Amino acid sequence: MKKLILMLCAFALGGTAIGAGAEINIVPKPLAVTPRQGEFRLTPQSGIAVGKDAELHRAAELFAEQVAPVLGGELKAGAQGAVTVSVDPSLGAEAYTLDVTPEGIAIRGGSAQGAFYGLQSLRQLVIDGKGTIPAVSIEDKPYFEYRGGMLDPCRHFWTVNEIKEYIDILAMHKMNRFHWHLTEDQGWRIEIKRYPELTRVGSIRKETLVGQYMHSNEYDKTPYGGYYTQKEIREIVKYAAERFVTVIPEIELPGHAVAALASYPWLGCKGEGYEVRTTWGISTEVYCPGKESTFEFLQNVLAEVIELFPSKYIHIGGDECPKESWKECPLCQKRIKDEGLKDEYELQSYTVHRIEKWLREHGREIIGWDEILEGGISKTATIMSWRGSQGGIAAAKAGNHVIMTPNTHCYLDYYQTNTPVYEPQGIGGFLPMSRVYQLDPYDQLNDEERSYILGVQANLWTEYIATFTHVKHMLLPRLAAVAEVGWAYDRKDFEDFRHRMTSLRKTYDAAGLNYATYFFDGLDEVKKEK
């Protein structure tokens, strides 16, 4: 009965109803949807007119591939067609309009990126209506500039094709940043030509914990590894750019560095005895900022990183760095004394500042996890708030830019229902769709402080996720809720979203994506704590 009431509510509230049943259901929610009279039937013969613009041509070809399963063939992109796609610079770069009449379809984007988003909206309508699209005028633009998804290929490794699929999924949700967490205690995943041991040694752990960290002593006795060559990285950066996704690499420092220390032991305070970590959690072994050679190494690594990634931002990590080894290290203590630092927290911020300065001299800006606030940060660092929103709120109040990715709403490795016994094994937590959707990046901020919030991001750590099918099970459909907060913060409405999601689900199906069904089955509602 409860489900029936929910379904009736969803029908009453959801989508933009037109005539007898045809609806405009798009996720994330467009800014303005005006129903018109009639409909247009798209067939493989309709054609897409894109003019000579190579980016538009590529966006149209991608769209043609994406709707081919429901049209029964591929539309051709060329000089003529019933679908026209063009650029109108009077619109914002990511904005678009989409007009469907009985005669044809017109998409205008503020740039090729805006046109791409118009085509992604059309993709959902075509799939929902099996080729018949209700006449409509849509005006749309994103609320937040930064809309990201993070993936961890260190705890478990993802192939080039899987990374491309992750990027496709982001682009489908009109997300524009892929945060690629490339270095960790459990594996170094990026080829650095100057330091071959990072991948020869650091990309392989000798075995992996089986079962839950804290409760298990069992290991699988099977070496596990993988890394991306520079050629593969260039290919992925290009693939992402073609989908208007910027790849932001994360090179973790000063903590989460055991794989680097195992490769080059002189990077650590102790200088010997490291091995790539085989279990999860946090290691007390971290880079030694007492040695100049550590900075030389990090700068040499970053010099190769910035050649590979055109992104303005480089993520330098900064989270979960225990200070024990620095307390016992004469060189770290000497650095604290020589630099007039108060304690090990200031030694961490000294390290981050030095790296930030080097990156700025090379035309880049840093993003760091919210721990980089401890010990003081520069005005130009962007904070990624993960330990809830408090770090982000403090940073915005201090005038630093912020990306909100609080574990309370954005950690998609957490369980999706409150009966996790029916879910694949996970890290813990409880993050149903409705709670993700409640993310408020502006919580506790006044108008001026709000201007420092760049946007939102979903994070997917993979300690307990060993297959890409499982990645998608965790990511979908919850990524859609993060995408809607990022794109449509000013117009979000959960019951309306729930209804529109039934259409996005068809787009997942047409793309052959697996996803979790708890939300669709009404199994993920937030229940009262016992």
CB of 320 to ligand ACM, least distance (A): 5
- DSSP letter at 182 equals -
List the helix and strand counts (H, then E) for the chain: 18, 21
Query: Pattern of binders to Zn ion over 317-346, x per CB under 5 A?
Result: ------------x-xx--------------
Residue 293: count of CB within 10 angstroms of its CB: 12
274 binds, among ligand ACM, Zn ion, none (CB under 5 to 8 A by kind): none
CB of 238 to ligand ACM, least distance (A): 28
**Measured from the CB atom, is 63 or 386 closer to ligand ACM?**
386
332 binds, among Zn ion, ligand ACM, none (CB under 5 to 8 A by kind): Zn ion
* Alpha carbon distances (Å) from 488 to 147, 379, 469: 11, 28, 28
**Measured from the CB atom, is 17 or 331 closer to Zn ion?**
331
**Measured from the CB atom, is 92 or 429 closer to ligand ACM?**
429
- Distance, in Å, from the CA atom of 116 to the CA atom of 123, rounded to the nearest integer, reads 10
Contacting range for Zn ion; rule: CB under 5 A; set: 107-115, 287-295, 348-356, 449-457: 287-295
Report H helices in 14-77.
54-71
369 binds, among ligand ACM, Zn ion, none (CB under 5 to 8 A by kind): ligand ACM
**Measured from the CB atom, is 269 or 481 closer to Zn ion?**
269
Residue pair 253/268 in contact (Cβ under 8 Å)? The answer is: no
- Distance, in Å, from the CA atom of 237 to the CA atom of 164, rounded to the nearest integer, reads 10
Q: Within a 13 Å sphere around the CA of 241, how many CA atoms are in the beta-carbon half?
A: 11
> What length does the chain have?
530
Q: Are strands 246-253 and 104-109 parallel, antiparallel or unpaired?
A: unpaired
Burial code of 372-395, b = ≥16 C-beta within 10 A, e = fewer?
bbbbebeeebbbbbbeebebbbeb
**Measured from the CB atom, is 255 or 290 closer to ligand ACM?**
255
CB of 371 to ligand ACM, least distance (A): 8
- By the 10 Å C-beta count (0-12 exposed, 13-18 middle, 19+ buried), 27 is classed as buried
- Distance, in Å, from the CA atom of 6 to the CA atom of 434, rounded to the nearest integer, reads 14
Q: Which of 262, 269, 347, 510 binds Zn ion (CB under 5 A)?
A: 269
329 binds, among ligand ACM, Zn ion, none (CB under 5 to 8 A by kind): Zn ion
320 binds, among ligand ACM, Zn ion, none (CB under 5 to 8 A by kind): ligand ACM
290 binds, among Zn ion, ligand ACM, none (CB under 5 to 8 A by kind): Zn ion
Residue pair 332/290 in contact (Cβ under 8 Å)? The answer is: yes
CB of 63 to ligand ACM, least distance (A): 35
Residue pair 381/368 in contact (Cβ under 8 Å)? The answer is: yes
Contacting range for Zn ion; rule: CB under 5 A; set: 180-188, 235-243, 261-269, 453-461: 261-269
CB of 485 to ligand ACM, least distance (A): 19
CB of 188 to ligand ACM, least distance (A): 17
CB of 319 to ligand ACM, least distance (A): 4
Structure tokens given for 397? 């109040």
Would you tell me which residues interact with ligand ACM (CB under 6 A)? 319-320, 369, 386
- DSSP letter at 344 equals H
Report H helices in 192-343.
197-200, 230-241, 258-263, 292-308, 324-328, 330-338
- Binding positions for Zn ion, 128-167, rule CB under 5 A: none
180 binds, among ligand ACM, Zn ion, none (CB under 5 to 8 A by kind): none
**Measured from the CB atom, is 185 or 356 closer to ligand ACM?**
185
Residue nearest ligand ACM (C-beta atom): 319
CB of 369 to ligand ACM, least distance (A): 5
CB of 335 to ligand ACM, least distance (A): 25
Query: Pattern of binders to Zn ion over 390-419, x per CB under 5 A?
Result: ------------------------------
Q: Are strands 453-460 and 146-151 parallel, antiparallel or unpaired?
A: parallel
> Would you tell me which residues interact with Zn ion (CB under 5 A)?
269, 288, 290, 329, 331-332
